[in-house]
Structure 1
Amino acid sequence: MRFDFDTFRFAEPDSAGDALAVVATHDGLSWHTLRARTEAWAAAARAAGARPDVPLVIVGHKEAGFLVAMLGCLTLGAPFVPVDRINPAERVRRIIEIVGAPLVYEADNDVFRPGTAATVLKERGVAYIMFTSGSTGDPKGVQIGRESLGLFAGWIRDCLRLDAAPVFMDQMLFSFDFSLFNVAGALGLGGTCVLCPRDLTAQRDAFTAYLARHRVTMWASTPSFVRQQLLNPAFDAATLPALKVFLFGAESLSPALAEALWERFPAARIVNSYGPTEATCSTTWVEIDAALRKDAPNPFPIGRAKPYAELFLDQGELCIAGDHVMRGYLNRPDLNQTRLFLHQGKRAYRSGDLAHIDAAGLVHFRGRADDQIKLHGYRIELAEVDAALASLDGVRAGAAVALRRADGAIVRMIGFVELEGNHAGDATGATALADWKQALGQNLPPYMIPSELVACDRFPTTSTDKVDRRQLERQYLQARLSGTKE
């Protein structure tokens, strides 16, 4: 049995129905059980008021019930809006308000509760709305059509050359679109999706044993996550003999990391991919073959366009065209006007990513044209973090700065604040910054909270009177090298 992402129905019902479709830490669902639970959930959601083209918010973490609800929404035609429990309550409330979701499903409690006034989307046939960091301080909703999700699942099926019934490791939050690699890949091919909650992945030995027990064959994650696993000597082919394919995205992939991985898994295939949420998870891909491995460009290219995508450059900015491009940001005509356009009759998106396309058609990532970053795979608008920093008591302005390694990968984010009344170096400043992480956590998810906060009397500015983030970074690094503090 499998889930057909073109028709959004279960297909081939007479085949392998007793095999595991979903594995969670406390239970597992066979394909027969997954189908029955999805149908029961859809019936309950319909009775609670769910209907086509009206968004439904799903809140939870890595429960099997979360995945059941996503499939149930797809069968109903109700766009699902995944929100992980990692988000503070205020952010969850704001997302419900923005989408106009009359119904919220709490997957961890298996209950439906009222949301807000119902809103029928102007765009019909939307599969899901994924929220990303917004430059105005508000998260922005990306509307992905059902046709786009079908194209994505078809690419996994037709191009990645995976074994029959693959077993996917799934540790990414469902509110992170990269997680759809595992959902569409495992369920679209009649395999198994092995859910890995955060409390499990934090336990090094237990996590590895869990993957070994369920014979995981496919690994899709950010490079940062696999780098953490390489600290475990048992993360190797001897412990995980079934693990044959690694697929990366959301961050740059360096030759050093690939070689470290091949040292542990000599026979593994490594695939690199790229794509913003606005282009349905990924739009390019390349397998790191012997020639690329020998050339070892740092970082590796992000790949070539998928069969249904077209890529081109406009003054160095990567533009993406095709039926996999989003239907637009929800209720943001201002952004849609600047980021979306038509290209040869297809939807097209200005990514904000700078790139180079070589003679072989491989795309090389060259950074961002704006202040959006990716940290551990999560997209973050620095302006949203700025706004949260500025809301701290005793602070008049905030600025977030991303620190990078030599290969361009972002390792952490530092927060800078200007204190009211020039109190950066005295007790008043220290009092103002007390409990700053807890305060930021009221409005930001943990991955958007800087690892360190630095108080300044005055921010350096550029010639256009914008905060000079590069100068802040230089000042911070100089202070670290000299052993002094601002």
Structure 2
Amino acid sequence: MYFDLHEMQFADVALDGERLAVAGSDRGLSWSALREQAGLWAQRARSLGAGPDVPIVLSGHKQAAFFTAMAACLMLGAPFVPVDSIYPEERRRRITDLVGAPLIYHAGTDAFETTTNAAKPLAEKGLAYVLFTSGSTGEPKGVQIGRESVRLLAQWMQASFRLGAAPVFMNQAPFSFDLSMFEVFGTLSQGGTCVLNSREQIPDGPAWLQHLARERISCWVSTPSFAHQQLLNKEFCTAGLPLLDTFLFCGEVLPHALCRRLKQRFPQARILNTYGPTEATVATTLIEVDQAVLDAHPVLPVGYAKPDCEIEIHDGEICIVGEHVMRGYLNQPELNQARMFRHPNGRRGLRTGDLGRLDDDGLLWCLGRRDDQVKLNGYRIELSEISLALQALDEVKNAICLALRRPDHTVVRLIGFVEMVRGTNVQGTNVRGTNVRGTNVRGANVQGTNARDTNAWGAGAWTPYPAASWKPALERRLPSYMLPSEVVTVDAFPMSVNHKIDGKALLEGYLQNPKQ
């Protein structure tokens, strides 16, 4: 059995009905049970006024019922709006108001909540989901993804990812994070299994990995940073996860060092690197990072464009063209005008805000964000370029360069942060340098994620990384004005709820560190 994304109905219902479809953090559902419960859920929603093009907010965290609700919304033709309950209540309510949803479904209690909003169809018809991302103004932006876009995502995964029949996906990204749509639509379209992992399960590393092994996961889906964290557990290897044959990464730069270590732990597993903004239905490019790619590219490319898609570079900016591009931001015509365009071939186009370059074969490198550019001592500097140079240092597992700013947003200096391969002994000297406290940077508005995983990280053991260990290598790649003032090692990077490096928390910890 599987879910037909053209008909938006379950198909081949007489086949493999007892095979596991969803392993929630609370319970499991076979394909027959998923089909039955999705049908009952749709009936309940209809009785409360739900219908085609009327959005429904889904709130919860890794319950089997959350997955059921997404499938049921597809059957109804009602766009689902996933809002993970790990996010603040105020943000969840604001999203409900912005999308005008008449219903909120709480997966944890299997209960519908009616709002004061009328059951009004959205202006944009035929949407599969609306996913809210953080806006630069602090107001969430609703990204409208059409049903045609999720069909293209599923077709691409089936044709190009080589995940085998009925893959078993490891899902840990919040459903509010579009990375999780790989697992949702991959499971539905391929008749696979989605193993949902809650924040409560993951910290118990050995027991959690044993759980994944029992569920027979074959495809690991996460940000690179989340996989980095698992390397601390010696059971994160082929012996512990014998059926894991594919790592699927998106959402961050994929470090060379991580790939090398994964190939040591999982010599038979393939590593897939993808790139794409939420506005382009999860991902747009793909490359398998094999040994030849690692040997040829010190900085890893993000891949080749998916079928029926074009990637162009306009003034250094990556632009994406295709029917997988969003239908626009919800109720934001000015932003749509600025970010979207109609290509001469008639298809939707997106200005991503990401910087990149294409080689003659169409291989893409992502070089950071336009808004990642800072000005220091008269020079315009791309922080991402420094981050990539730091990541290429020996024994560095992951790295990022951040700008320390004054309250007026002017840049004081550049700080490199590195996480070393476990066991590396960094002998440091006192490299305090500039008197940071005297520059009045406390309280500066440093860009970062809106929701931080503060429970998972503290200041930790900060160690100056001596200039002799990094400066000569960086001087070979960067002009002198781009060299950071200092490089600091940390035990582990702080992560946002989406398991991306939390730059704001890093800088806050840096300022609070007594060494500074």
Corresponding residue SS for 1:446: coil
Q: Once the two structures are superposed, what CA deviation does each residue of 1:87-128 show, in whole Å capped at 9, x if it has no partner?
A: 111111110111011111111111111123234211100110
1:116 aligns with 2:116: yes
**CA distance in structure 1 between the aligned counterparts of 2:399 and 2:457, rounded to whole angstroms:** 13
**CA distance in structure 1 between the aligned counterparts of 2:54 and 2:208, rounded to whole angstroms:** 38
**CA distance in structure 2 between the aligned counterparts of 1:79 and 1:125, rounded to whole angstroms:** 8
CA contact (8 A) 2:275 2:303 kept: yes
**CA distance in structure 2 between the aligned counterparts of 1:128 and 1:317, rounded to whole angstroms:** 27
- Higher relative CO (Cα under 8 Å, sequence separation at least 6) belongs to 1
Corresponding residue number in structure 1 for 2:4: 4
Once the 2 structures are TM-superposed, how far is the Cα of residue 189 of structure 1 from its aligned partner?
A: 0.9
| Percent identity over paired residues | 48
CA contact (8 A) 1:354 1:366 kept: yes
1:346 aligns with 2:347: yes
**CA distance in structure 2 between the aligned counterparts of 1:445 and 1:410, rounded to whole angstroms:** 21
Q: Once the two structures are superposed, what CA deviation does each residue of 1:241-269 show, in whole Å capped at 9, x if it has no partner?
A: 10001111111112211010010001111
Corresponding residue number in structure 2 for 1:457: none
Once the 2 structures are TM-superposed, how far is the Cα of residue 329 of structure 1 from its aligned partner?
A: 0.3
Bigger mean CA offset, 180-189 vs 114-123: 114-123
Q: Once the two structures are superposed, what CA deviation does each residue of 1:344-369 show, in whole Å capped at 9, x if it has no partner?
A: 20000000000010122110111100
CA contact (8 A) 1:5 1:150 kept: yes
Q: Once the two structures are superposed, what CA deviation does each residue of 1:189-213 show, in whole Å capped at 9, x if it has no partner?
A: 1111111111111111111011111
1:32 aligns with 2:48: no
Corresponding residue number in structure 2 for 1:105: 105
Corresponding residue number in structure 2 for 1:311: 311
Alignment of 1:44-443 (within 5 A): 44-118=44-118, 119-295=120-296, 297-343=297-343, 344-371=345-372, 404=387, 406-407=390-391, 418=407
CA contact (8 A) 1:103 1:116 kept: no
**CA distance in structure 2 between the aligned counterparts of 1:190 and 1:264, rounded to whole angstroms:** 29
Cα distance change, pair 143–263 in 1 and its aligned pair in 2 (3 A): same
Cα distance change, pair 415–62 in 1 and its aligned pair in 2 (3 A): farther
1:445 aligns with 2:451: yes
Q: Once the two structures are superposed, what CA deviation does each residue of 1:157-205 show, in whole Å capped at 9, x if it has no partner?
A: 1111121111111111111111011111122111111111111111111
Once the 2 structures are TM-superposed, how far is the Cα of residue 417 of structure 1 from its aligned partner?
A: 7.8
Q: In the alignment, residue 322 of structure 2 is paired with which amino acid?
A: G
Corresponding residue SS for 1:199: coil
**CA distance in structure 2 between the aligned counterparts of 1:352 and 1:308, rounded to whole angstroms:** 22
Q: Once the two structures are superposed, what CA deviation does each residue of 1:60-106 show, in whole Å capped at 9, x if it has no partner?
A: 11111111111111100111000011111111111011101111111
User: Alignment RMSD, CA only?
Assistant: 3.5
**CA distance in structure 1 between the aligned counterparts of 2:387 and 2:352, rounded to whole angstroms:** 21
Cα distance change, pair 198–362 in 1 and its aligned pair in 2 (3 A): same
Once the 2 structures are TM-superposed, how far is the Cα of residue 413 of structure 1 from its aligned partner?
A: 7.8
**CA distance in structure 1 between the aligned counterparts of 2:204 and 2:142, rounded to whole angstroms:** 33
**CA distance in structure 2 between the aligned counterparts of 1:418 and 1:339, rounded to whole angstroms:** 29
Cα distance change, pair 232–484 in 1 and its aligned pair in 2 (3 A): closer
Structure 1 segments of 4+ aligned residues over 3 angstroms from their partners: 401-405, 408-419, 447-453, 473-477, 483-486
Once the 2 structures are TM-superposed, how far is the Cα of residue 310 of structure 1 from its aligned partner?
A: 0.6
**CA distance in structure 2 between the aligned counterparts of 1:411 and 1:6, rounded to whole angstroms:** 42
CA contact (8 A) 2:249 2:272 kept: yes
Q: In the alignment, residue 100 of structure 1 is paired with which amino acid?
A: G
Q: In the alignment, residue 6 of structure 1 is paired with which amino acid?
A: H
CA contact (8 A) 2:25 2:64 kept: no
Once the 2 structures are TM-superposed, how far is the Cα of residue 25 of structure 1 from its aligned partner?
A: 3.1
Corresponding residue number in structure 2 for 1:461: none
Q: In the alignment, residue 328 of structure 1 is paired with which amino acid?
A: G
Alignment TM-score, normalising by the size of structure 1: 0.81
CA contact (8 A) 2:2 2:188 kept: yes
Bigger mean CA offset, 405-414 vs 300-309: 405-414
CA contact (8 A) 2:25 2:62 kept: no
Corresponding residue number in structure 2 for 1:437: none
CA contact (8 A) 1:284 1:303 kept: yes
**CA distance in structure 2 between the aligned counterparts of 1:140 and 1:298, rounded to whole angstroms:** 35
Q: In the alignment, residue 27 of structure 2 is paired with which amino acid?
A: D
- Unaligned 5+ segments in structure 2 are 374-382, 393-397, 409-435, 460-480, 489-506
**CA distance in structure 2 between the aligned counterparts of 1:99 and 1:143, rounded to whole angstroms:** 10
**CA distance in structure 2 between the aligned counterparts of 1:448 and 1:26, rounded to whole angstroms:** 25
Cα distance change, pair 122–210 in 1 and its aligned pair in 2 (3 A): same
Corresponding residue SS for 2:362: coil
Corresponding residue SS for 2:391: coil
- Unaligned 5+ segments in structure 1 are 373-400, 434-442, 454-469
Q: In the alignment, residue 81 of structure 2 is paired with which amino acid?
A: V
Q: Once the two structures are superposed, what CA deviation does each residue of 1:12-51 show, in whole Å capped at 9, x if it has no partner?
A: 1111001101112331101100000000000001111111
**CA distance in structure 1 between the aligned counterparts of 2:18 and 2:305, rounded to whole angstroms:** 37
**CA distance in structure 1 between the aligned counterparts of 2:264 and 2:325, rounded to whole angstroms:** 37
**CA distance in structure 1 between the aligned counterparts of 2:342 and 2:336, rounded to whole angstroms:** 12
CA contact (8 A) 1:415 1:452 kept: no
Once the 2 structures are TM-superposed, how far is the Cα of residue 474 of structure 1 from its aligned partner?
A: 5.4
Aligned residue pair count: 429
Once the 2 structures are TM-superposed, how far is the Cα of residue 404 of structure 1 from its aligned partner?
A: 4.8
**CA distance in structure 2 between the aligned counterparts of 1:108 and 1:47, rounded to whole angstroms:** 21
Corresponding residue SS for 1:174: coil
**CA distance in structure 1 between the aligned counterparts of 2:357 and 2:170, rounded to whole angstroms:** 32
Corresponding residue SS for 2:195: strand
CA contact (8 A) 1:414 1:452 kept: no
CA contact (8 A) 1:91 1:444 kept: no
Cα distance change, pair 83–301 in 1 and its aligned pair in 2 (3 A): same
Q: In the alignment, residue 110 of structure 2 is paired with which amino acid?
A: D
**CA distance in structure 2 between the aligned counterparts of 1:484 and 1:210, rounded to whole angstroms:** 41
Q: In the alignment, residue 303 of structure 1 is paired with which amino acid?
A: G
**CA distance in structure 2 between the aligned counterparts of 1:290 and 1:485, rounded to whole angstroms:** 41
Alignment TM-score, normalising by the size of structure 2: 0.76
Corresponding residue number in structure 2 for 1:378: none
Cα distance change, pair 257–54 in 1 and its aligned pair in 2 (3 A): same
Q: Once the two structures are superposed, what CA deviation does each residue of 1:434-480 show, in whole Å capped at 9, x if it has no partner?
A: xxxxxxxxx94335999789xxxxxxxxxxxxxxxx99x85997x96
CA contact (8 A) 1:357 1:363 kept: yes
Bigger mean CA offset, 315-324 vs 106-115: 106-115
Corresponding residue number in structure 1 for 2:473: none
Corresponding residue number in structure 2 for 1:462: none
